[in-house]
Amino acid sequence: MTTTALEKVSEQIAFGGRQIRFKHRSAVLNCDMQFSVYLPPQAEHEAVPAVYWLSGLTCTDENFSSKAGAQRVAAELGLALIIPDTSPRGDDVPDDDEGAYDFGHGAGFYVNATQQPWAKHYQMYDYIAKELPGLVEAELPLTQDRAISGHSMGGHGALVIGLRESLFSSISAFSPICHPTECPWGHKAFGNYLGEDKSTWRAYDASLLLQERDSVPPILVDQGTADNFLAEQLLTPALEKANQLSGGGAQIRYQQGYDHSYYFIASFIEEHLRFHARNLR
């Protein structure tokens, strides 16, 4: 089974560029996948850099493209937006037996699962870090200049993949799950996907990764003070402590009164895209 070429599902014009949804067969995830791409007007004439956006629990590739309002700024800056799904999908892909929102379909947590029955399909880390960049850069007018961003579970994924992989020039996150080895969402996901040996969880914990780094790429994190997940699930103070231990290279900001919703993302996505545009090689 191999990765197949892109099949266009839909296309709309937005701010002079193209918002496109693609389907392909993923060799890494062993299933059909859909993802969305925004190509700015500049892509009609030259290859452009890309910002990868990782969405949160329950989301698909369509949440960010329809709610964040990012296309206007991406068009101005000449940035492509690559927006994958949050997990493998399909009737053959195992799901949570009780249909819970925080595990299984829509909740891949951007890890490479090692436990059965999840390991056959739930290889989201490799899908984001390896398969998807290779696919889109072969098929679309993209350079090899990349940044990564995300929200909540996707913010966790962006931080982890951005810290572990050198292919991204900059990292940003909205309301990320900062310390999943110590929160209920992380315990459930990691325990099932990775098993009971908690030493294997460390490779997917942004706070633990950050505190071990002597140097990091440019990082911007925004967290709303009215986020109802902040205290129990997101654990932003752990990321702040790790940032201090690593030399304070990350910019971590609290935004007064903002919650966990896409209203928060829409309010600051322009700053994040401009941050990435400044730091792309």
**d(C-alpha 124, C-alpha 218), whole Å:** 23
Those residues of the chain that have pLDDT short of 50 are: 1
Q: Name the phi and psi angles at 61, rounded to 5.
A: -70, -10
What CATH topology corresponds to 7-279? Rossmann fold (3.40.50)
Buried b / exposed e across 200-223, counting CB within 10 Å, b at 16+?
Answer: ebeebbbbbbbbebeebbbbbbbb
Whole-structure pTM value: 0.97
Predicted pLDDT of residue 2: 54
248 Ramachandran zone, left/alpha/beta (phi>0; psi -120 to 50): left
Task: Tell me the pLDDT tens digit for each residue of 26-83.
Answer: 999 999 999 999 999 999 999 999 999 999 999 999 999 999 999 999 999 999 999 9
Predicted pLDDT of residue 4: 63
Among 209, 225, 205, residue whose Cα is nearest residue 217: 209
Cα 199 → chain centroid: 23
Task: Tell me the pLDDT tens digit for each residue of 124-141.
Answer: 999 999 999 999 999 999
Q: Are 183 and 205 in contact (CB under 8 A)?
A: no
For residue 274, the tally of other CB atoms under 10 A from its CB is 14
Predicted pLDDT of residue 1: 41
Residues annotated as catalytic (active site), given as ranges? 152, 227, 260
